Structure 1
Amino acid sequence: MTGNWQKVTFTNSRRLTLAGLLYGSPRETGDIVIHCHGFTGGKEGGGKALELGTELGRRGWSTLLFDFAGNGESEGDFSDLTLSGQVDDLTCAVDWLFQQGYKRVVTVGRSFGGSTVICQGARDPRVAGVCTWAAPARLLELFSSFTDEPVDGRQEEMITMAGEGGLIYLKKGFFHDLKLYDIPADAARLTPRPLLIIHGTQDSVVPPDDARLIFNAAGEPRELIWIKEGDHQFTRHYHQVWNILFEWLDRHFKQPTP
């Protein structure tokens, strides 16, 4: 499949317009991967997500990249970010893709986007399979470690967190909302749809133990692939991660040649 990236928009249930990039069309393939960025990230993934989507196109898959509300080019205030909001954004992306004529959707999520695809897939049987890259399982513990301030309090109160690019400001509602989710329990709800978990052994942001928690809770078919010496960003190993994804997609979703 050959083509170009095109800018697209769709709306979430909070009536915010989300910005996306689509590679391919339902006329070329009924299969599409939604690639979800991580915390404070963006749809382009520094260019790597675009490169990956183009390669997926060569392998017969369309790709949708989009910015979660409050990130990148999408509407919304980052301080209003919640996991529930991201689950809704992703569900609305799935809605929109089926309206466009796609027949099968697989979700891939990096870091907090990985937690999001697990939670969304557990609630949306239309998702055919889920893949996570360096996804945290213990969200409240992880995000509480990014701040010295108490995370309890009124939902509208602001909290300051340390991020890769400097200070981040979120409402305490973010932490209230995290308490509504149990990532391993949601992973268990994905079966019998396939789940692929990829994690670096040298991840200094999300402990590798989190990948094991998700894997142990999940039903079959499930796979946990360790990237030896891999960091949180898979800086020197991202092509290895891509090849693992391609092989998994071929094995579980490849259509027989007519």
Structure 2
Amino acid sequence: MPFAAHFPVQLRTEDGIRIDAAHTPHPSLDLGIVVAHGFTGSWRERTARRIVHVLSGYGGVLALDFRGHGRSGGTTTVGDLEILDVEAAVRHARVIGYRKVAVVGFSMGAAVAVRHAGLRKDVDAVVAVSGPARWYYRGTKPMRQVHWAIERPVGRLAARIAKRTRITAGQWDPIPMPPHEAVALIAPTPLLIVHGDADSFFPLEHAHQLYDAAGEPKELWIEPGYGHAESAATPELVRRIGKWISSNLL
């Protein structure tokens, strides 16, 4: 089945980074949905395009490549300055004319969506899928591999070659506000936290920590058998997310 038609978009962040994105329009301007991918991901990947296709049944969709990913400029800061990338996408969605704008983030994109909503307060609903609650988590093998890619020169080189992901060298200074603190600032914006009980990157404690720190209105979906982020998201789950956004904003 072909994916819904999309149009290329070039965005510019407030710190001057060029962001590669795509707009999948909807006949109505009632709802725009910004989709934020995970670390080393891209809106051009088939898994991301499948998610965009399903969500486009509920509103217009603006999917972006974070800085340092794919065809976007700059280097990734792995969840820090990426809030400016989401802000640029939300701003563009409002320029298009969408009256309500939601952000759906996966993994690193979930952390960015939470931090953006808490710190910038310019969205109408937030969905965080498979996201971390705190930084520097190394409790699973996949996350130890992620930290190797981020912290070691050879790891950053491997990410650049294999995943077209350019990672900023060095440590955060200062350390950005972690998701479990930023999530407390989101209310009264509606928040949905989605996490699988088979997530090999972040165990369920991350979802519960986010949920417990958030104010109302909030929902927590623990999905049986669901793994991690975009690659494990079924069309049925994405449809439920689309319906949740619609029911809260329309």
TM range (shorter): 0.7 to 0.9
Cα-to-partner distance string for 1:98-136 (whole Å, 9 max, x where unaligned)? 223222110000001000000000122220010011001
Cross-structure match for 2:179: 183
Could you tell me how far apart the structure 2 residues matched to 1:135 and 1:41 are? Answer: 14
Cross-structure match for 1:35: 35
The answer (yes or no) to whether the contact 2:55–2:61 under 8 Å persists in 1 is: yes
Most deviating of 115-124 and 12-21? 12-21
The verdict on how the C-alpha distance between 1:159 and 1:123 changes in structure 2, with shifts beyond 3 A counting, is farther
Cross-structure match for 1:123: 119
Shift of 1:144: 7.7
The verdict on how the C-alpha distance between 1:5 and 1:199 changes in structure 2, with shifts beyond 3 A counting, is same
Shift of 1:42: 0.6
The verdict on how the C-alpha distance between 1:9 and 1:137 changes in structure 2, with shifts beyond 3 A counting, is same
Q: Which 4+ runs in 1 deviate beyond 3 A?
A: 142-151, 157-163, 165-170, 233-237
Q: How many percent of aligned residue pairs carry the same amino acid?
A: 22
The verdict on how the C-alpha distance between 1:189 and 1:77 changes in structure 2, with shifts beyond 3 A counting, is closer
The answer (yes or no) to whether the contact 1:114–1:135 under 8 Å persists in 2 is: yes
Cα-to-partner distance string for 1:19-39 (whole Å, 9 max, x where unaligned)? 1110116x7313100000001
Could you tell me how far apart the structure 2 residues matched to 1:36 and 1:233 are? Answer: 11
Cross-structure match for 2:64: 66
Could you tell me how far apart the structure 2 residues matched to 1:84 and 1:188 are? Answer: 17
The verdict on how the C-alpha distance between 1:235 and 1:66 changes in structure 2, with shifts beyond 3 A counting, is closer
The verdict on how the C-alpha distance between 1:158 and 1:126 changes in structure 2, with shifts beyond 3 A counting, is same
Question: What is the SS of the residue equivalent to 1:141?
Answer: coil
Shift of 1:145: 3.2
Could you tell me how far apart the structure 2 residues matched to 1:244 and 1:190 are? Answer: 22
Question: What is the SS of the residue equivalent to 1:102?
Answer: coil
Could you tell me how far apart the structure 2 residues matched to 1:196 and 1:19 are? Answer: 26
The answer (yes or no) to whether the contact 1:194–1:252 under 8 Å persists in 2 is: yes
Cross-structure match for 2:137: 141
1:55 alignment partner AA = V
**Bigger radius of gyration:** 1
Cα-to-partner distance string for 1:71-100 (whole Å, 9 max, x where unaligned)? 01111235xx24232011111222222223
Cross-structure match for 1:197: 193
Cross-structure match for 1:75: 73
Question: What is the SS of the residue equivalent to 1:127?
Answer: coil
The verdict on how the C-alpha distance between 1:160 and 1:50 changes in structure 2, with shifts beyond 3 A counting, is closer
Question: What is the SS of the residue equivalent to 1:119?
Answer: helix
1:134 alignment partner AA = S
1:29 alignment partner AA = L
Consecutive unaligned residues in structure 2, runs of 5 or more: none
The answer (yes or no) to whether the contact 1:110–1:133 under 8 Å persists in 2 is: yes
Shift of 1:54: 2.8
Q: More strand by proportion, 1 or 2?
A: 1
Question: What is the SS of the residue equivalent to 2:113?
Answer: helix
Higher relative contact order (CA 8 A, sep 6+): 2
Consecutive unaligned residues in structure 1, runs of 5 or more: 152-156
The answer (yes or no) to whether the contact 1:191–1:218 under 8 Å persists in 2 is: yes
The answer (yes or no) to whether the contact 1:200–1:234 under 8 Å persists in 2 is: no
TM-score, length of structure 2 as denominator length: 0.84
Question: What is the SS of the residue equivalent to 1:105?
Answer: strand
2:33 alignment partner AA = V
Say yes or no: does 1:97 pair with 2:98: no
The verdict on how the C-alpha distance between 1:30 and 1:243 changes in structure 2, with shifts beyond 3 A counting, is closer
Cross-structure match for 2:46: 47
TM-score, length of structure 1 as denominator length: 0.82
The verdict on how the C-alpha distance between 1:144 and 1:10 changes in structure 2, with shifts beyond 3 A counting, is same
Cross-structure match for 2:25: 24
Could you tell me how far apart the structure 2 residues matched to 1:52 and 1:101 are? Answer: 22
Shift of 1:48: 3.0
The answer (yes or no) to whether the contact 1:160–1:170 under 8 Å persists in 2 is: no
Cross-structure match for 2:155: 160
